[in-house]
């Protein structure tokens, strides 16, 4: 456990962007106003699968107030086999471009087909409705098992295995021998529905394609450099021709890594010669961006009399949506990631279906697979008469444990999280009465490294400006400033963070993979150390000494001393300003384990679930700003509970989403959840100077299974599909 003492890290300063956010002064993409700006609308497919026979834009182009109309024909052709990678894995450029504006076929209801720019958004929408598209409707397929079946409608002619885009297989030990040693074997198959991240702020993009060829994009994105690189690839221009200014972001959860509107706004601007703004409606967000895959996962686990897992097998089929790239890889890698298991076989299938192309969502792929593993373990614990946490403790992964996909863990906090759950007040409290049940589950997420950059400039008044490129979703301005302050011996308030455009800071990966406090934090840490060295040199010059010590914000040598501010005031006279940058590409990523304890009460007449008490436990490595860590834990838990109980894309048989609004999508509101209790566990990551692991994602992995296990205790039923909504609880 963490023992180092810090001055700033671990405290709870007010966030730097707090005043702007609570007074409404913070500028989001939809707030942007530019001189001569015009507005766009996107025409979307009403069909889940159809051939485009003809697109006639002439009436829209002739409509008064219209400046430009674009279709896929306006974009450069994508070479058939060109692969692009923006730090999140390989993608076919043709898929990326095909999803931006359909050509040849539409592959889901909501697939963008054309776009219009006009004097205002209403005129643009009216004109878009005048675009004539002749479709030849094709049969659609909406689930992975159906898409894998013989005779299923085929989405892409160029995939070698029908609708299966990728097959993953991880194998370790001897599976048959392992199951032969087991005395209890349980196998279950569980389905999950397609769900959306549910960020508040819809996607938006404003672009201006200048007559000199420079393209400036303002958007809501988790990664300005990824948005730049993806837009440049779609538009087939060099990355240096594009500048992305990230606006404030109203939630992303993985869903704002991909580009949707940016290249369309740019192409409209090129044709119109004016800045063009595009803003999605809520329905556009549901049907035109990337939800997380629906899935079918089958898990079989064998345990011996001692409660040790002897073998485990998993079969996973994830719905990628229209283009390859379901998160089945991470689903397969995490399915048994919490446990030390000698004999393992994992098979994963990435399956295309006629639904929106899926995107990342908070620990993408892991909740789906953990649902199966953690409910099977619950059943095994019951059969063995073991406490469910005790069964997990007997099999918990630890330093040196090898995962079936290859890596061996460095220091990891699985046992510590389980012990904290076991010792928690919640786990030791009685349930309040009949029809109540308590469930537990744990989950793992890798977290990510990826490059980050930061610049620190010392002001003459002793404060420091921090220039960085990580868009701030969860309070990273402050968690980064705190790391700079810790190194520099300053207060968090003495650091002034600014998030700048892609021309103004070194390359920085996405705010995703729980990596910002870790990776950009490391860049800030390294830059701050350079600042300290340069400041020491200035003090040495002033004092004419060779060695200067620095501790708690004070430079000293031979009985003389300067505070940071005193020395900062003398920089001008000692050689000029101090401004230091660092770019990192760290390898010492530390995975995070999270656990959940949840109590529910089920109305036996209506099947309605009330959530009574929830405790989220997570290994943060080191909590830089504990309040923000708690916020991440509570947010991931709330999303996971919504996913477990009521959320789903409700599609009709033609593949049209019938509940594309927050009225009917049924995310939990503040009235549906109690205050979520949190227990932060700190097992420092040896790969980060402050021990940071990253906390944004692991917390969403346990809730699906924990809710399912709690419902079982409350009702005596084990359901095999998420969402476990009131009707399914009653079997109606």
Partner 1 sequence: MKAFDYAAPASLPEAVGLLASQPSARLLAGGTDLLVQLRSGRKDADVVIDVKKIPELNEISFNPADGLTIGAAVPCYRLTADAAIQSHYPALVEVASWIGGTQIQGRASLGGNLCNSAPSADSIPLLIALGATALIAGPAGRRSVPVDEFCTAPGRNQLAPGELLVSIQIPAPAPFSGAAYLRFIPRNEMDIAVVGAGASVTLSNGVISAARVALSSVAPTPLFVPAAGESLLNQMPTAEALEAAAKIAQEAASPISDMRGTAAYRRHLCAVMVRRALELAVARAQEIN
Give contact residues for partner 1 (rule: CB under 8 A): 122, 125-126, 283, 605-608, 645-646, 650, 658-659, 663-664, 666, 668-669, 671-672, 725-727, 730, 732
Smaller CB separation from partner 1, 490 or 641? 641
Smaller CB separation from partner 1, 298 or 608? 608
In the three-class reduction of DSSP (H, G, I as helix; E, B as strand; rest coil), residue 57 is classed as coil
Q: CB of residue 127 vs partner 1: minimum separation in angstroms? A: 12
CA 104, distance to chain mean position in Å, is 31
Q: CB of residue 260 vs partner 1: minimum separation in angstroms? A: 20
Which stretches of 557-687 are DSSP H helices?
564-568, 626-645, 662-665
Alpha carbon distance 135, 121 (integer Å): 26
Smaller CB separation from partner 1, 306 or 671? 671
Q: CB of residue 726 vs partner 1: minimum separation in angstroms? A: 5
End-to-end alpha-carbon separation of the chain, Å?
48
Given 416, 486, 648, 697, which residue is catalytic?
697
Q: CB of residue 451 vs partner 1: minimum separation in angstroms? A: 42
Summarize the chain as % helix, strand, coil (round to 5): 30, 25, 45
CA distance to 34, 110, 254, 597, 636, per residue, from 502 (Å):
19, 31, 20, 42, 29
Q: CB of residue 102 vs partner 1: minimum separation in angstroms? A: 21
With beta carbons less than 8 A apart as the criterion, state whether 685 and 621 touch.
Answer: yes
Smaller CB separation from partner 1, 214 or 283? 283
Nearest residue to 624 via CA among 510, 446, 486: 486
Smaller CB separation from partner 1, 464 or 645? 645
In the three-class reduction of DSSP (H, G, I as helix; E, B as strand; rest coil), residue 563 is classed as strand
Alpha carbon distance 189, 191 (integer Å): 7
- Can you list the pairs that 573-579 forms with residues at least 24 positions away whose Cβ atoms lie under 8 Å? 574/538, 574/541, 574/542, 575/538, 575/541, 577/457, 577/458, 578/457, 578/458, 578/531, 578/534, 578/535, 578/538, 579/455, 579/456, 579/457, 579/458
Taken as a whole, the chain contains a residue count of 732
Longest dimension (CA), the chain: 85
Q: CB of residue 607 vs partner 1: minimum separation in angstroms? A: 8
Smaller CB separation from partner 1, 267 or 657? 657
Q: CB of residue 128 vs partner 1: minimum separation in angstroms? A: 11
Q: Which two tokens stand for residue 318?
A: 């994830």
Smaller CB separation from partner 1, 537 or 673? 673
Q: CB of residue 664 vs partner 1: minimum separation in angstroms? A: 6
User: Following DSSP, what letter does each residue of 90-126 receive, concatenated?
Assistant: EEEHHHHHHHHS--SEE-STT-EEEEEEESSHHHHHH
Alpha carbon distance 72, 31 (integer Å): 28
Alpha carbon distance 623, 619 (integer Å): 9
In the three-class reduction of DSSP (H, G, I as helix; E, B as strand; rest coil), residue 279 is classed as strand
Q: CB of residue 42 vs partner 1: minimum separation in angstroms? A: 14
Q: Which two tokens stand for residue 195?
A: 């769900």
Instruction: Specify whether 533 is catalytic.
Output: no
Smaller CB separation from partner 1, 187 or 672? 672
Smaller CB separation from partner 1, 537 or 730? 730
Alpha carbon distance 62, 495 (integer Å): 54
Please identify every residue annotated as catalytic.
Answer: 697
């Amino acid at each position: 456990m963490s023992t180092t003492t810090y001055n700033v890290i671990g405290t709870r300063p007010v966030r730097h962007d707090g005043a702007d956010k609570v007074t409404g002064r913070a500028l989001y993409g939809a707030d942007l106003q530019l001189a001569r700006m015009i507005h766009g609308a996107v025409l979307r497919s009403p069909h889940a699968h159809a051939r485009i026979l003809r697109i006639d834009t002439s009436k829209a182009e002739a409509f008064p107030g219209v400046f430009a109309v674009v279709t896929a024909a306006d974009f450069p052709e994508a070479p058939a086999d060109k692969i692009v990678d923006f730090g999140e894995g390989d993608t076919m450029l043709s898929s990326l471009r095909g999803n931006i504006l359909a050509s040849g076929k539409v592959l889901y209801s909501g697939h963008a087909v054309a776009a219009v720019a006009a004097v205002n958004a209403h005129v643009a929408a009216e004109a878009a409705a005048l675009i004539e598209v002749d479709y030849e409707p094709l049969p659609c397929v909406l689930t992975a098992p159906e898409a894998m079946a013989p005779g299923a409608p085929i989405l892409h002619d160029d995939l070698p295995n029908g609708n299966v885009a990728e097959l993953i297989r991880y194998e370790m030990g001897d599976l048959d021998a392992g199951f032969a040693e087991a005395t209890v074997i349980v196998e279950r198959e569980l389905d999950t529905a397609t769900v959306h991240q549910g960020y508040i702020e819809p996607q938006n993009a404003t672009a201006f394609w200048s007559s000199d060829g420079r393209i400036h994009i303002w958007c809501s994105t988790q990664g300005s450099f990824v948005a730049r690189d993806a837009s440049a690839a779609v538009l087939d221009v060099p990355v240096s021709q594009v500048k992305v200014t990230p606006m404030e972001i109203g939630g992303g959860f993985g869903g704002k890594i991909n580009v949707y509107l940016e290249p369309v706004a740019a192409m409209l601007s090129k044709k119109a010669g004016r800045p063009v703004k595009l803003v999605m409606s809520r329905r556009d967000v549901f049907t035109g961006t990337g939800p997380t895959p629906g899935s079918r996962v089958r898990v079989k686990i064998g345990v011996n009399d001692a409660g040790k897992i002897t073998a485990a097998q998993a079969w996973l089929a994830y719905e990628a949506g229209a283009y390859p790239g379901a998160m089945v890889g991470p689903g397969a890698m995490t399915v048994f990631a919490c446990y030390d298991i000698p004999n393992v076989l994992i098979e994963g299938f990435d399956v295309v279906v006629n639904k929106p192309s899926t995107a990342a969502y908070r620990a993408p792929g892991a909740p789906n697979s953990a649902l199966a593993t953690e409910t099977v373990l619950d059943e095994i614990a019951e059969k063995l008469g073991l406490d469910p946490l005790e069964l997990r403790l007997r099999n918990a992964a630890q330093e040196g444990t090898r995962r079936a996909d290859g890596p061996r863990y460095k220091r990891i906090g699985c046992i510590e999280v389980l012990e904290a759950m076991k010792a928690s007040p919640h786990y030791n409290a009685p349930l309040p009465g009949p029809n109540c049940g308590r469930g537990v589950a744990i989950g793992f997420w890798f977290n990510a490294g990826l490059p980050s950059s930061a610049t620190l400039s010392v002001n003459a008044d002793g404060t420091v400006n921090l220039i960085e490129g990580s868009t701030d979703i969860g309070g990273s301005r402050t968690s980064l400033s705190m790391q700079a302050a810790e190194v520099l011996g300053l207060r968090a308030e003495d650091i002034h963070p600014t998030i700048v455009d892609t021309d103004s800071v070194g390359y920085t990966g996405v705010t995703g993979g729980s990596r910002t406090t870790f990776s950009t934090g490391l860049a800030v840490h390294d830059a701050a150390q350079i600042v300290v060295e340069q400041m020491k040199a200035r003090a040495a010059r002033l004092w004419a000494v060779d060695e200067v010590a620095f501790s708690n914000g004070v430079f000293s040598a031979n009985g003389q001393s300067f505070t940071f501010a005193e020395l900062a005031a003398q920089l001008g006279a000692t050689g000029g300003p101090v401004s230091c940058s660092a770019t990192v590409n760290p390898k010492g990523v530390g995975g995070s384990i999270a656990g959940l304890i949840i109590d529910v009460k089920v109305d036996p007449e209506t099947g309605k679930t009330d959530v009574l008490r929830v405790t989220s436990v997570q290994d943060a490595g080191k909590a830089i700003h504990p309040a923000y860590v708690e916020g991440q834990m509570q947010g991931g838990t709330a999303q996971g509970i919504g996913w477990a109980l009521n959320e789903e894309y409700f599609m009709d048989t033609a593949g049209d989403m019938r509940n594309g609004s927050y009225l009917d999508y049924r995310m939990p509101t503040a009235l549906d959840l109690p205050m979520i209790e949190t227990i932060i566990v700190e097992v420092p990551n040896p790969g980060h100077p402050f021990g940071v692991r990253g906390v944004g994602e692991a917390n969403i992995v346990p809730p699906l299974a924990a809710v399912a296990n709690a419902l079982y205790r409350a009702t005596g039923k084990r359901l095999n599909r998420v969402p476990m909504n009131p009707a399914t609880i009653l079997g109606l």
